[in-house]
Structures are given as structure tokens and as C-alpha cells.
């Protein structure tokens, strides 16, 4: 959600900043901009839309300078326009910002009373106007930045560049991630380490409340109480941080194809390549947990919804689920023996992080399942379990979803053992099934051409209905979310049994109904619901295994999945949900990796 970059370099920095912004574009692509200092003077270029538009401008109007900051925006306050694009400038200051300044109205009024007029609709401009005012009142750059930061309320990451200060960037982290990169007599700043992967492998992650003064020779870091502090320099694996499409047309295509390898890697991390145990941090204790509270957003929430079935069935653990943005604004009843589990690919989702902070003091243990081990959610959890999926760049989550499911399945089995609900034999049998997941996912991916053909007609639809029962219900929800987000086709998902309580009124010849129904204990029930749709001329696309398809009879469209054990079926059936959305989007010519209005990492509420 907005990406920030800063470079104090020894060469022209615009190309470096632009390159780093490309790796942050997944955070937002409503507009982009760069500011530099050249021969003591501040200058900037900004463009609406994707970075390519900014690159084009820079070709015709280069931006020289060896110190600079850059930004890629996901609009919050004020629509996508050049005036609202960052960097914002006032007098001798330029600012890039990620997050929300909650008291911006009060600050605008106060600054307005000083005779200051605003040139944008953004909350960010209050930061730059304040800093500029403080400079005019005689403060130094450091004093002005510090005084400005003290006035800001909300969650944000911010960077200041001052005219006349070619060897200085001031930055601050409060609620939104920010890291510093160390080079050879160069220093860098980025919203994440991926942004800086081509520049350095030496990274310092700022802690909550930190602010820092960067110069080419290093960084002075201060904590929230203004005490100078040391934060460690960690070496990142630039290979894993490096992002490219590896010959695929889209990041989403690459990330779907990577799933068998990712799932294998994640599995071998937690359970080795063979054997009958799952290795998890020793302090992780489900034996004394009386209730599991799972909280997440979007696709990660659907992973929790699947896992609820597993924790209940295999561990006998009562589970409560909620969407993070809802959870934190009700008064959840929390108990000292509750375990709270947060699932997040980015580990930075503002609502999930806020929910975590809300429950932390009141529960026995806070556990997270994340993809980014250095993320805020990981760092603020007692136990953080990485899914080892590698960077996920496509806005639509794919490999992270299946990897989240796999780690949650392992956790549910471990909980089952700790709580004495699974016999060693049953535990080993389920673990063996999990070990087979990568192979089955590869088989499901092999159905791509069939799915592509199916989506030729589907892409003409105005609305699509997804149905599933039991663990297939969250899969239906995930299928509908994927389709909406990248093809812009309106899609809804229902628990198949719920159809006759209202939504069946929608069914007509124009409504494709996609049914996820492996031949499991609920198959007969789902098949009856499917018949109800067909009796009303609905066009059914049934996704099932050989036995399910054979028993279903005459269904207009069928897609055969491998026959898989019931336990792991949700992980395998995620693949057609993803491929249906992907190929429908291709037919419709939408922007698969960067769908409109969305951003990958949602760091605002
Ligand atoms: C959908 C999607 C989103 C995310 C959600 C949570 O494809 O990617 O719904 O799942 O924004 O993000 P994380 O997992 O980063 O907390």
C-alpha cells in the first residue's frame, strides 16, 4: 500500500529509484513520482498511472541528482492525479509517505490559519507543509522533521528530503514498514527489502516508532523516545528477494506454477522429506488451549475458514473465526487459555496487525502464519510460522494461499496429537496425505488447457455463482474472490445448502454456477443442490473427481480433478479456482497482476 524508496548515492539516483519502485509497484500503481536534489536544488517528476508513465516522462525530462526519494501510490485521500501524486513539495522540503495521517483535517485547518494553501487533496501534504513551516521558523532540517513527526497521528512510514541537504534523508516508521539498506558509501531506504535487493544485501529493519537520519556514511537511528539506538544489520538472501517472471506471462502464472515446489519446500521445512513427525517451535502449545481464535483478511481469511474444519475435526478444538477489520471493532470475549492465530501473506495487513495487538495481552499465546518472516505480524507474534512461499508479487494471492493451507493443516495435526485426539496411526496417515499434496497440485495444474477452454464461455458472463459444502465452501468463496478481483466479473459464493434459502432466485440460463464437489461424504448433498440449479436451467460447471463426475450424471460442463484424500482436497481444489480466474481474466484482457483499484499489501485500515 504505497511504496517508498530513498537513495543517497554516488551516481545519478533516478534510475536506481525507478528500478526499486518497479519492485514495489505491487503496493500500488495509481501514480508514481521521484524527487532529487541536484546542485543544491530540489526538483521532482510525477505521473498518474503505472511507473511506465513516470519512466516516459523521465526520458524527456531527466531528473539529475545523487540524492532522491521515490513513491508508488495506492490512493487513499484524493484520487489518482498528478497533484495528489507523491513526492509532495512545499518550499525546501519534499516528502513521500505510506499510510494515513489521521489528524490531517485538524492540521490542514491549523496550517490554513497560517495562510498556507494546499495544492493537493492528500493527507500527506500536511506533513510537507508543516516541515516547511518549521524550516521557515528557523529550525534545522532535523529539528523540522522531528517536530513534524511529533504532530502526526496515524499509521505511516515517511521520508523527507531537504533542499540544500544533499547528504541527508530523514525517515520514520510508525505502523508501516520501512527498512534501511547499507551500501559502499551509499545508503538506501525502502518499504521492504525486496525494493533494495538489486542495491544491497545488508538491511536494517526499523522498529515501531523509530526515526532515522541517513547520510552516505551510515544511519543514526532513534527510538520513539528520541534515544539514539542500534538496530542490527541483517544479511538478506538477494536471490530469494529478487523478483522476475521467469519466462511466464504474468507473476500470477509464475506463482501458480511454483506451487508444487513451494509446497514441497514448506513441507520439508516442517516435516522433513519423510518420517512421521512435525517440527514446530517447542513453546507452541495446543494441549491447554480451550479456544482457537483465527483472524485474517481476504484470501488468508478463507485459508482460516478451511482450517477451522481441520482444527475441529482433528484436534477437537473450538474455533472462532473473524475478519480482522470486524474483529477489532467488536468486543470479542477473550480468555487466558485462548490461542490467537493470525494469517497473513504480507505480515503487514493493518487490520490483522491491529487485531493482533488488540488480543495479545489477553490470550495465552499469539501465533502467526506469515510469508514474510521480517514482517510486523511475525515480529509481534510469540510464535511466527513462515510458509516459505517466496515473494508473491501478483496482487491475487495464489501460492501463499495453498502454502498457508498446508502449514495450517500441519498445525491442526500437531494440535490433534498434543490434545490426544489423533492416534499416532491416524496422525501418520494424515501426514502421509499431506506429503502427497505437491504431486496432486502438479496434476491439478496439468488441467490448465481444459480450464482455459472452459473459461471461453465463462468470460462472457455478467455474474457467476460458486457453490461448495464443508471445506469446499471456503474454496467457493476463494474462487469467487479471485474471479472478481482479476476479471471484474461479479461473483458470489454460497454454501451449497444455503442456495434454496434465497440465492436460487438468481438462477437463470445466463448464470454460470461453478460447483466444487469432490466425491466425499458431502457429495450426495452437493449433487442434489446442483440438480436444483440445473432444474432451473442454470449452467453448471462441476469440478470433481472421476467418481464424482461419474455419479453426477449429465452435467453441462465438467472438470476432472485427481482423486485425493478428503483431508487435503481443499489445497488441490484451490488450483482450478485460481486457473479459472486467471484464464477468464486473460480472455477479458484485464490486467492480471495489477488489477484496478487494488494493491498487494494493505497497510491502511
Ligand atoms: C486476494 C488477496 C487479498 C489478501 C488480503 C490479506 O487475492 O490477495 O484478499 O489475501 O488482502 O493480505 P495478507 O495475506 O497479506 O494479510
- Supply 196's cell numbers: 533494495
Q: Is 304 a catalytic residue?
A: no
Probe target for ligand 1 pocket from 26, 397, 491, 600, with the most ligand atoms within 8 Å of CB: 397
User: How many angstroms is it from 130 CA to the middle of ligand 1?
Assistant: 34
Q: Is 1 in the pocket of ligand 1 (CB under 6 A)?
A: no
User: How many angstroms is it from 363 CA to the middle of ligand 1?
Assistant: 25
What strand order describes the sheet that includes 365-370? 319-323, 291-296, 338-344, 365-370, 383-386
Question: How far, in Å, CA of 543 to CA of 580, rounded?
Answer: 11
Question: How far, in Å, CA of 434 to CA of 52, rounded?
Answer: 43
Ligand 1, atom nearest to 395 Cα: 8
Ligand 1, atom nearest to 482 Cα: 7
Buried (b) or exposed (e) across 333-369, using 16+ Cβ within 10 A?
ebeeebbbbbbbbbbbbbbbbbbbebbeeebbbbbbb
Ligand 1, atom nearest to 377 Cα: 16
Probe target for ligand 1 pocket from 299, 347, 400, 475, with the most ligand atoms within 8 Å of CB: 299
Task: Identify whether the C-beta of residue 415 lies closer than 8 Å to the C-beta of residue 315.
Answer: yes
- How many residues comprise the chain? 605
Sign of dihedral through CA atoms 427, 519, 536, 576?
Answer: positive
Q: Is 41 a catalytic residue?
A: no
User: How many angstroms is it from 19 CA to the middle of ligand 1?
Assistant: 25
Radius of gyration of the chain (CA): 25
Q: Is 520 in the pocket of ligand 1 (CB under 6 A)?
A: no
Question: How far, in Å, CA of 282 to CA of 295, rounded?
Answer: 23
Per residue, the 3-state secondary structure of 358-413, as one string, reads HHHHHCCEEEEEECCCCCHHHHCCCEEEECCCCCCCCCCCCHHHHHHHHHHHHHHH
pTM of the model as a whole: 0.88
Q: Is 404 in the pocket of ligand 1 (CB under 6 A)?
A: no
Q: Which residues pair with residue 558 across a beta bridge? A: 542
User: How many angstroms is it from 299 CA to the middle of ligand 1?
Assistant: 5
| pLDDT average per 10 residues of sequence, the chain (605 residues) | 93 96 85 95 95 94 97 86 93 94 93 92 94 97 97 94 97 93 97 91 94 97 96 84 83 97 95 85 94 98 98 97 92 95 94 94 96 91 96 94 98 97 96 97 97 96 97 98 97 94 90 96 92 91 97 93 98 98 97 85 70
DSSP state of 503: G
58 membership: H or E segment, kind and range: helix 51-60
User: How many angstroms is it from 298 CA to the middle of ligand 1?
Assistant: 5
Ligand 1, atom nearest to 601 Cα: 15
Q: Is 376 in the pocket of ligand 1 (CB under 6 A)?
A: no
Q: Of all protein residues, whose CA lies closest to atom 16 belonging to ligand 1?
A: 344
What strand order describes the sheet that includes 202-205? 41-48, 31-38, 67-73, 3-8, 187-190, 179-182, 202-205, 234-235
- Supply 199's cell numbers: 542495491
Q: Is 345 in the pocket of ligand 1 (CB under 6 A)?
A: yes
Beta strands 291-296 and 338-344: pairing type?
Answer: parallel
563 CB-contact burial (10 Å; exposed 0-12 / middle 13-18 / buried 19+): middle
Cα–Cα–Cα angle for 312, 315, 319, nearest 5°? Answer: 40
Q: Is 298 in the pocket of ligand 1 (CB under 6 A)?
A: yes
Question: How far, in Å, CA of 603 to CA of 544, rounded?
Answer: 38
Task: Identify whether the C-beta of residue 189 lies closer than 8 Å to the C-beta of residue 219.
Answer: no
Ligand 1, atom nearest to 298 Cα: 9
What strand order describes the sheet that includes 463-468? 490-495, 463-468, 512-516, 539-544, 557-560
Q: Is 349 in the pocket of ligand 1 (CB under 6 A)?
A: yes
Question: How far, in Å, CA of 407 to CA of 402, rounded?
Answer: 9
User: How many angstroms is it from 26 CA to the middle of ligand 1?
Assistant: 12
Q: Of all protein residues, whose CA lies closest to atom 10 belonging to ligand 1?
A: 299
**What pLDDT score was predicted for residue 241?**
65
Please pick, among 2, 171, 179, 304, the residue that the annotation labels catalytic: 2
Q: Is 478 in the pocket of ligand 1 (CB under 6 A)?
A: no
Beta strands in 284-382 (DSSP E): 291-296, 319-323, 338-344, 365-370
User: How many angstroms is it from 152 CA to the middle of ligand 1?
Assistant: 28
Ligand 1, atom nearest to 398 Cα: 7
**What pLDDT score was predicted for residue 242?**
66
Please pick, among 22, 254, 399, 600, the residue that the annotation labels catalytic: 600
Q: Which residues pair with residue 48 across a beta bridge? A: 31
**What pLDDT score was predicted for residue 240?**
67
Probe target for ligand 1 pocket from 74, 177, 300, with the most ligand atoms within 8 Å of CB: 300
523 membership: H or E segment, kind and range: helix 523-534
**Got the DSSP string for 436-489?**
THHHHHHHHHTTHHHHHHHHHHHTT-SEEEEEE-TTHHHHHHHHHHHHHHHH--
Ligand 1, atom nearest to 401 Cα: 10
Instruction: State the residue for C-alpha cell 508543516.
Output: 130
Amino acid at each position: 500500500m504505497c511504496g517508498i524508496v530513498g537513495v543517497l548515492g554516488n551516481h545519478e539516483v533516478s534510475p536506481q529509484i525507478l528500478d526499486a519502485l518497479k519492485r514495489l509497484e505491487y503496493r500500488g500503481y495509481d501514480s508514481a513520482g521521484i524527487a532529487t536534489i541536484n546542485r543544491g536544488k530540489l526538483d521532482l517528476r510525477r505521473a498518474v498511472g503505472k511507473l511506465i508513465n513516470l519512466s516516459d516522462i523521465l526520458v524527456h525530462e531527466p531528473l539529475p541528482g545523487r540524492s532522491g526519494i521515490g513513491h508508488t501510490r495506492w490512493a487513499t485521500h484524493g484520487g489518482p492525479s498528478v497533484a495528489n501524486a507523491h513526492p509532495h513539495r512545499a518550499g525546501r522540503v519534499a516528502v513521500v509517505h505510506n499510510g494515513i495521517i489521521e489528524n490531517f483535517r485538524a492540521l490542514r485547518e491549523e496550517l490554513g490559519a497560517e495562510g498556507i494553501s494546499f495544492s493537493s487533496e492528500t493527507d500527506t501534504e500536511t506533513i510537507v507543509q508543516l516541515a516547511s513551516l518549521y524550516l521557515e521558523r528557523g529550525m534545522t532540517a532535523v529539528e523540522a522533521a522531528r517536530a513534524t513527526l511529533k504532530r502526526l497521528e496515524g499509521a505511516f512510514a515517511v521520508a523527507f528530503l531537504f533542499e540544500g541537504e544533499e547528504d541527508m534523508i530523514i525517515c520514520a516508521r510508525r505502523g508501516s514498514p520501512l527498512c534501511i539498506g547499507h551500501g559502499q558509501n551509499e545508503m538506501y531506504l525502502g518499504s521492504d527489502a525486496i525494493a533494495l535487493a538489486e542495491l544491497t544485501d545488508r538491511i536494517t529493519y526499523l522498529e515501531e516508532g523509530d526515526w532515522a537520519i541517513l547520510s552516505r556514511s551510515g544511519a543514526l537511528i532513534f527510538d520513539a523516545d528520541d534515544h539514539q539506538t542500534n538496530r542490527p544489520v541483517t544479511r538478506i538472501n538477494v536471490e530469494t528477494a529478487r523478483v522476475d517472471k521467469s519466462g511466464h506471462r504474468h507473476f500470477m502464472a509464475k506463482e501458480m506454477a511454483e506451487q508444487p515446489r513451494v509446497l514441497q519446500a514448506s513441507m520439508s521445512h516442517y516435516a522433513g522429506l519423510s518420517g512421521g513427525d512435525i517440527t514446530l517451535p517447542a513453546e507452541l502449545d495446543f494441549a491447554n488451549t480451550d479456544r482457537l481464535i483465527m483472524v485474517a483478511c481476504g484470501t488468508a481469511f478463507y485459508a482460516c475458514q478451511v482450517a477451522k474444519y481441520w482444527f475441529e475435526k482433528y484436534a477437537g478444538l473450538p474455533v472462532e473465526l473473524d475478519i480482522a477489520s470486524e474483529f477489532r471493532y467488536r468486543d470479542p470475549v477473550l480468555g487466558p487459555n485462548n490461542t490467537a492465530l493470525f494469517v497473513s501473506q504480507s505480515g503487514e495487513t493493518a487490520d490483522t496487525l491491529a487485531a493482533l495487538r488488540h488480543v495479545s495481552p489477553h490470550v495465552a499465546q499469539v501465533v502467526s502464519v506469515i510469508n514474510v518472516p521480517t514482517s510486523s505480524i511475525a515480529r509481534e507474534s510469540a510464535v511466527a510460522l513462515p510458509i516459505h512461499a517466496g515473494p508473491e508479487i501478483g496482487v491475487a494471492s495464489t501460492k501463499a494461499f495453498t502454502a498457508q493451507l498446508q502449514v495450517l493443516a500441519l498445525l491442526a495435526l500437531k494440535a490433534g496429537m498434543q490434545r490426544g485426539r489423533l492416534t499416532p496411526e491416524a496422525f501418520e496417515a494424515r501426514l502421509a496425505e499431506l506429503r502427497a499434496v505437491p504431486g496432486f497440485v502438479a496434476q491439478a495444474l496439468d488441467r490448465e488447457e481444459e480450464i482455459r477452454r472452459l473459461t471461453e464461455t465463462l468470460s462472457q458472463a455478467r455474474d457467476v455463482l460458486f457453490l461448495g459444502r464443508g471445506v469446499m465452501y471456503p474454496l467457493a468463496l476463494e474462487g469467487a474472490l479471485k474471479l472478481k478481483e482479476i476479471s471484474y466479473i461479479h461473483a458470489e459464493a454460497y454454501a451449497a445448502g444455503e442456495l434454496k434459502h434465497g440465492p436460487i432466485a438468481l438462477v437463470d440460463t445466463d448464470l454460470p454456477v461453478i460447483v466444487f464437489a469432490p466425491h466425499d461424504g458431502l457429495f450426495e448433498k452437493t449433487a442434489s443442490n446442483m440438480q436444483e440449479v440445473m432444474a432451473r436451467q442454470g449452467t453448471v460447471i462441476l469440478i470433481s473427481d472421476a467418481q464424482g463426475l461419474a455419479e453426477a450424471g449429465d452435467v453441462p460442463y465438467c472438470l476432472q480433478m485427481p482423486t485425493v484424500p478428503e483431508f487435503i482436497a481443499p489445497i488441490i481444489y484451490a488450483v482450478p479456482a485460481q486457473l479459472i480466474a486467471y484464464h477468464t481474466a486473460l480472455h477479458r484482457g484485464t490486467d492480471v497482476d495489477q488489477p484496478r483499484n487494488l494493491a498487494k499489501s494493505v497497510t491502511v485500515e
